[in-house]
Structure 1
């Protein structure tokens, strides 16, 4: 087993960190905030108040639904144009091997998740280059005997002024407060207010209105895809930057700045990443070879450390880690813990933040479950990296809103 030395410190943000109080046990408690009545400077509230900013406020997982207009469509019109205009849909690769190309094949694309990012690409590693973004995750959703999402996804990025992102956060907090929902120190999963409104309602409608007022084709800057090559064990990652969404003017993304335009993860034996990026932390020690035997202990140990670095937003970001490594690291590590007896308790590479519940009840535990944020058919999927990113974002926003 790995013998790691514990780190007791709580990770702070690159901007001034939020202050905290202590409960009777001495454990650090966040000093949360909520928007003021006039929508201006936020006022402090008690921890546990529905207005407290927490993980699900910046990373929203939508429930699967067949209710008309409950799930946002790729073709829906927002204030700045369609979420995904036809010219961009035409640039998407086939998402499934059994389904043809766009646009007709993509009419079941639905938004399954949303993330608010005040500082793309990294709060910790690139604070001087902050770009405020709203990001949506779309999957192909079917409504057969049971509503299900295909294991492929489109990730879209919209840039907006920082002031607008802050106003959006304030609106969402107000909506949550009106819904009477408390998400403080809860694991990241389906947003509790959306889960409570099974057929839609004030929070569902208010969320759509608030977000749609600030996004659309004119603000679309990046699109990435995770497509299925062979169902259950091989996926392809690629993407493009968008300079003119209406005209479909795009340029390929250089994955992890490694000269790679597309990359695949192969989850069958031997498990591998094709091609591997030279900039990546090497997680191959966690992969099972052609013989199917347990990897050597030294390989498991080094792979586990690499996976923890990838899951830690304080040490790695999208500019330094390839798509396939980021998606595969968590499931491979969870499998190593559950099946091979690897222990990462108190590992110094692991992300730490005592203000939040960083547990991962919805994370993939096998290398055929590499979805980061969305749905694995009928099961919610939330990776450790998404949880950790969300904690960093909330810490950053709490601090900024208190200035």
Structure 2
């Protein structure tokens, strides 16, 4: 067992590492975060220069209306080399942290900043745009025009040109419930969350609220893009993000998941975000896109669907645990009572015991026995636990709604996660208990009060209007990945 110093804020604590585990070490090849320096075409003394987004330090110029992706400008975002200064850092500085694995970016402050400093769907990645326009429009049925076409009646449009990257996640073993050490079967992925940021001057594009001409509305919905990468790329990306964090002066623990502290401090045009954009563009493109999952809002309802992509062929896929006849869509509906949580998931699940209908609807819950409510509450905990369920074992609506249901309904009936054997638990020298805390309200209708126009919030790692939303499930998944990445050879 080895003891190292772990810096938390302005204090240090001693952490004992299990045999065979060691801090993340800087590697020059990892700093480039690409499969070779030749790809970048530029090498700087002491480090590599990444192909940063054009249109300023943060993002590409908007995709032209003819669908042609914008051309990248000259590189200006660098991932610094930390080798020379490693000796001056505590060993713990190179441990990967929660906010290294799952990064929630701040929103732009205006349409102008949205267009200059946020990645869009047409941003050029390693081999083409992050999402191909024709593929997205085929998947969604949405097209821009004098009157925006939407793929479903009453849906709020999420048009291609309005999509912006709001979150980034590293996943070394997608949809695994057991140990990730079976590397041969792991699906290594880089995941991006896009949301539609609609200018308030653009009424045909789905504007929700009027506002200043340079303001925008965040549509209540999102697009989750999954990119296939290799295990070595996972390691390179993680190392590069650690180096960016250290270069920004943060060798300490950034704490629990929240809008990324460095990005919030430096802004979207800061060195950290510029470097992160370079990493994304080096590893993600439409040719590596393997899945698109989508949540779209209708009044008091969200429609969830997903598509798989293989060799450029788009296939709408069956959502796990739903009846075969209902394999295209999972629906979550919110209720209208301000003093309690109401909802229903449809179509009903038929292939899993982990349903929680008994506490989804306040009228149901009142009429259920204590044992029935406890069983439903336990089911939400199991769904939140990445050791029990993955996207391959539970439907997306149940996963999106489990946390907010538990956190809203549980206290009304004295139901608690603490001490419950179904609750997620992790003992890891790399994940302090304090870093497992929630930093966003379980629901904007709860205390602290957050004023929003919708009834409830089922966003997992994105924004509900301009408020960040991070669910317990995402926190738990991130903790498992942090523990794992710090334990593997690199």
1:84 to 126, 131, 147: 131
The 1:195/1:304 distance shift into structure 2, 3 A limit, reads same
Give the corresponding residue for 2:414: 341
The 1:114/1:104 distance shift into structure 2, 3 A limit, reads closer
Secondary structure at 2:116 match in 1 = coil
TM-score (norm 2): 0.70
For residue 297 of structure 1, report the CA deviation from its aligned partner. 2.5
For residue 63 of structure 1, report the CA deviation from its aligned partner. 0.4
For residue 32 of structure 1, report the CA deviation from its aligned partner. 6.3
The answer on 1:250 being equivalent to 2:328 is: no
CA distance in structure 1 between the partners assigned to 2:98 and 2:140 by the alignment: 32
CA distance in structure 1 between the partners assigned to 2:233 and 2:290 by the alignment: 17
Give the corresponding residue for 2:191: 135
Secondary structure at 2:309 match in 1 = strand
Give the corresponding residue for 2:165: 111
TM-score (norm 1): 0.84
For residue 101 of structure 1, report the CA deviation from its aligned partner. 2.8
The answer on 1:271 being equivalent to 2:343 is: yes
- For the 8 Å contact 1:115–1:134, the answer to whether it is kept is yes
The 1:27/1:77 distance shift into structure 2, 3 A limit, reads closer
For residue 168 of structure 1, report the CA deviation from its aligned partner. 1.2
Give the corresponding residue for 2:301: 234
CA distance in structure 2 between the partners assigned to 1:19 and 1:306 by the alignment: 39
Deviation readout 1:74-108 (Å, 9 max, x if unpaired): 11111121111122121233689x96338993311
For residue 147 of structure 1, report the CA deviation from its aligned partner. 5.0
Name which one, 1 or 2, has greater alpha-carbon Rg. Answer: 2
The answer on 1:196 being equivalent to 2:265 is: yes
Give the corresponding residue for 1:393: 481
The 1:348/1:25 distance shift into structure 2, 3 A limit, reads farther
CA distance in structure 2 between the partners assigned to 1:25 and 1:171 by the alignment: 25
2:467 to 351, 376, 379: 379
Give the corresponding residue for 1:35: 25
> Equivalent residues in 2 for 1:298-337 (5 A)?
298-337=371-410
Select the structure with the greater relative contact order (CA < 8 A; seq sep ≥ 6). Answer: 1
CA distance in structure 1 between the partners assigned to 2:280 and 2:465 by the alignment: 26
- For the 8 Å contact 1:29–1:47, the answer to whether it is kept is no
CA root-mean-square deviation: 3.2
Deviation readout 1:107-150 (Å, 9 max, x if unpaired): 11111111110111215277452011011111111354565421
Secondary structure at 1:90 match in 2 = helix
> Equivalent residues in 2 for 1:10-25 (5 A)?
none
For residue 387 of structure 1, report the CA deviation from its aligned partner. 0.5
Tell me, which stretches of 5 or more residues in structure 1 are unaligned? 1-17
CA distance in structure 2 between the partners assigned to 1:70 and 1:183 by the alignment: 27
CA distance in structure 2 between the partners assigned to 1:55 and 1:382 by the alignment: 13
For residue 340 of structure 1, report the CA deviation from its aligned partner. 3.6
Count of residues in correspondence between the two structures? 378
Give the corresponding residue for 2:36: none
Give the corresponding residue for 2:178: 124
For residue 289 of structure 1, report the CA deviation from its aligned partner. 4.5
CA distance in structure 2 between the partners assigned to 1:399 and 1:192 by the alignment: 25
The answer on 1:361 being equivalent to 2:439 is: yes
Secondary structure at 1:226 match in 2 = strand
Secondary structure at 1:301 match in 2 = helix
